[in-house]
Amino acid sequence: MHEIERKSVTILDILSKEKEPLGAGIISKRLKSFGIDLSERAVRYHLQLMDERGLTEVRGKEGRLLTARGKEELSNALVADKLGLVITKIDTLSFMADLNLAEKTGRVILNVTLMPQEVLDEALAIMKDTFAAKLGISDLVAIATEGEFIGSIEVPPGTVAFGTICSITLNSIFLQAGIPVDSKFGGILQFDKGEPLRFTELITYAGTTIDPLEIFIASKMTSVREVALTGSGKILASFREIPAVAADKSRALLGMLEESGFYGILRFGRPGQAILETGVNPGRMGLVVMGGLNPLAALEESGIKTDSKAMSTLIDFDKLVNFWNL
């Protein structure tokens, strides 16, 4: 992809994550997180070109919004530019999320699932089992009906949006503590009698343009409800590595996470040792983290049609509600 096309696609991507118009100054700052250094003047030039193509539209002095044509252009971006998009998105959102555990303020990363309004009560009843079994990341969720916004996403007519905290939020929390996290794989984790055994399927984040957990849900490869009810079956999980020298600091952070209502880290390995039959690089430690989309995978298993997107948006922590209060 030509450099000018890469910059334009990145600008479209930035605009797609916002429901309010953005000006050239803000876009210029956000481009830096993608490794693109453009002045405000240069950004305005690109925006003008996109205006002429109908990809963006001017909203007074506030800035630009993405048009329907712009959304289509973004979704059809060249495959060469999309390669590695998932791992890039993980790194970008890990940097952008800024939850302060001590003060309970800041933004977290949200998975968003759309479903027909009429199935909401049934869906909540099904998800109770998975939340009771703690097969996600946290009991904190977000919910919005048609015309409302969940993060930066407007809920389409006739649907309801249900958001769960994405496990990549944990990457962000570790990063703020000075501990870099390397997200290696998304996978299917087998359980037997309440204990995790091994990964039966793995997809590297660096080698896919679609989040692996979305692929596994669409392929109906999970049995989350069975795990919740019987302790045996297959759930969504991911495998990550951190520097072995950060072991003590990481364990202290785990305690803070638990106090803040996070329970998604299933296994915390030892330096250089395999964890759940998955090897670890020298000088590293393995983490096995449950997928935040597990409750929604249970809906697909039950015949409820959903549209789930991992790492969909950012949302303020104080806008989340406890699932058990719904």
Q: How many whole angstroms separate alpha carbon 105 and alpha carbon 322?
A: 16
Q: What is the pLDDT of residue 4?
A: 54
Query: 285 has which bridge partners?
Result: 242
For the chain, how many structural domains are there in total? 2
pLDDT for the residue numbered 320 = 97
Are both 238 and 299 inside the same structural domain?
A: yes
How far is the C-alpha of 190 from the C-alpha of 86, rounded, in Å?
24
In the chain, the N- to C-terminal Cα span, in Å, equals 47
> Whose CA is closest to 233, among 281, 287, 189?
189
Query: Which pLDDT does position 2 carry in this prediction?
Result: 47
Sheet architecture: strand order including 140-145: 307-316, 107-116, 159-165, 140-145, 321-322
Measured between alpha carbons, how far is 287 from 203 in angstroms, rounded to an integer? 16
**Do 313 and 178 reside in the same domain of the chain?**
yes
Question: Which tens digit of pLDDT belongs to each residue from 254-269?
Answer: 999 999 999 999 999 9
Q: CATH number of the domain that 285 lies in?
A: 3.30.70.1360
Note whether 298 and 127 are within 8 A (CB).
yes
Residues 24, 148 within the same domain = no
Last residue of a domain, one of 27, 55, 81: 81
| Residue whose pair of structure tokens reads 């481009």 in the numeric block | 31
- Report the pLDDT averaged over residues 16-30: 89
**Cβ neighbours of 34 (radius 10 Å):** 16
Looking at the fold, whether 70 and 117 belong to one and the same domain comes out as: no
User: Where does the pLDDT of residue 1 fall: very low under 50, low under 70, confident under 90, or very high at 90 and above?
Assistant: very low
pLDDT reported for residue 80: 53
* Better-scored residue on pLDDT, 210 or 230: 230
Q: Give the model confidence (pLDDT) of 130-140 as tens digits.
A: 999 999 999 99
Asked if residue 227 and residue 123 are part of one domain, the reply reads yes
pLDDT band at 27 (very low <50, low <70, confident <90, very high): very high
Query: Is the pLDDT assigned to residue 39 strictly greater than 70?
Result: yes
Q: Does residue 62 carry a pLDDT above 90?
A: no
**Whether residue 76 sits in one domain with residue 104:** no
| Domain co-membership, 72 together with 174 | no
What is the mean predicted confidence (pLDDT) over 302-313? 93
Same domain, yes or no: 309 and 162: yes
108 and 45 within one domain? no
pLDDT tens-digit profile of 141-151? Answer: 999 999 999 98
- What pLDDT is attached to residue 196? 96
**Can you read off the two tokens belonging to residue 153?**
């996403």
212-217: long-range pairs with CB below 8 Å, 24+: 212/86, 212/185, 212/186, 212/187, 212/238, 213/186, 213/238, 213/291, 213/293, 213/310, 214/293, 214/308, 214/309, 214/310, 216/186, 216/187, 216/188, 216/297, 217/293, 217/296, 217/297, 217/300, 217/308
pLDDT value at residue 123? 98
- pLDDT value for 83: 56
CATH number at residue 39: 1.10.10.10
**Which of 33, 51, 81 represents a domain boundary (last residue)?**
81
Domain containing residue 255: 83-326
Mean pLDDT of the chain: 92
Domain check: are 151 and 259 in the same one? yes
70-120: pLDDT as tens digits = 988 888 775 555 556 788 889 989 999 999 999 999 999 999 999 999 999
Task: Note whether 61 and 15 are same-domain residues.
Answer: yes
User: pLDDT tens-digit profile of 150-163?
Assistant: 988 889 999 999 99
The Cβ of residue 325 has, within 10 Å, a number of other Cβ atoms equal to 7
pLDDT band for position 201 (50/70/90)?
very high
How many percent of the chain have pLDDT more than 90? 77
250 or 36, greater pLDDT: 250
pTM for the full predicted model: 0.79
> pLDDT band for position 37 (50/70/90)?
confident
**Are both 93 and 67 inside the same structural domain?**
no
Q: Which of 47, 66, 81 is the last residue of a domain?
A: 81
What pLDDT, on a 0 to 100 scale, did the predictor assign at position 20?
87
Closest CA relative to residue 24, chosen from 52, 56, 53, 1:
56
**Predicted pLDDT at 105:** 95
